[in-house]
Amino acid sequence: MDCSLPGSSIHGISQARILEKENQSSVSEFLLLGLPIRPEQQGVFFALFLGVMYLTTVLGNLLILLLIRLDARLHTPMYFFLSHLAFTDISFSSVTVPKMLINMQTQDQSIPYAGCIAQMYFFLLFGCIDNLLLVVMAYDRYVAICHPLHYTTIMREGLCMFLLAGSWLLSCVIALSHTILLAQLSFCEDNIIPHFFCDLAALLKLSCSDTSVNELVIFTAGTAVVILPLSGILISYGLIGVSILRVPSTKGICKALSTCGSHLSVMFLFYGTIMALYFSTSSGKSKDKDMIASLMYTLVTPMLNPFIYSLRNRDMKLALGFLFKSNNLLIK
């Protein structure tokens, strides 16, 4: 005869569910698979990413910051935003690349749960700021070319600070929203992330919880920081193109291309890789393609920005020449 109390079985079931939930939420670390590189090629790619690409990104963008700081001719709204773009590019690459390099060197692929969440937050933060700065710079070029006589009146210091602060505030809100929602999810025993950093989409796939709210926020935030900025950039340069065609002048066209060429190059690189990432097919090698596309806009694009702005921009080349001449005089 079963002499157990009627509520004992219910209590046992509820206790089992609590233990199951604790097991799901007790993930203390994740494992980053990293780039699809053979073990014997790790040393070569480590030297490539660290010695060439990452150091070039950091030093090149630091040079842009130095030139803008030292040359009074570059104290304009365009270079004000460019200096913040350079700072953002350094930060954006530094969120993911150093950890990737450490994993390649030590063969330790683990990252703590808190470290993974923090990495995802700062990745989203600086990625959003990059997007918003590009559209702000496009608006600046639109005003400079289409309304040159009112440029200083429109792009006054107060407006520049407002646009910059608004970009930071919106980016912080979006990144924090994703982080808070992700922190409330439970994770199963599978803690392997098929990426070289803590990507939000990869983390959602590992969760045992309902991620419909997270996906809705991703769609909403994606519209705010990708679709709308891209639309704003296209509209700005469309209006610039119309303005140039109204007064067909070879000198005017060359000046406009010189002014906007560097920004357009950065825009095509940045958004081109993002679209390649999110519109890629789900074939057997889609994960490898995703990682390569992610590497393009997290490392390659920030690395190329200093070359684009220094080689295609007359003012930057003049400032660089002035800096070298000043150094030569100091040495002599």
Mean pLDDT for each 10-residue chunk of the chain (332 residues)? 48 45 63 82 78 88 90 89 94 92 86 94 94 92 90 94 96 95 86 89 88 89 84 89 76 67 74 68 58 81 80 73 65 51
* Domains parsed from the chain with CATH numbers: 29-319 (1.20.1070.10)
pLDDT of the residue at 173: 94
85 with 270: CB under 8 angstroms?
no
3-state percent breakdown (helix, strand, coil) of the chain, nearest 5: 80, 5, 15
Q: Answer yes or no: are the C-beta atoms of 104 and 45 closer than 8 Å.
A: yes
Query: Counting beta carbons within 10 angstroms of the beta carbon of residue 277, is it exposed (0 to 12), middle (13 to 18) or buried (19 or more)?
Result: middle
- State the pLDDT at residue 296: 81
Compute the half-sphere exposure of residue 21: CA atoms within 13 Å on the CB side of its CA: 9
CA distances from 322 to 70, 118, 227, 319 (A): 10, 41, 40, 5
pLDDT value of position 283: 47
pLDDT at residue number 244? 79
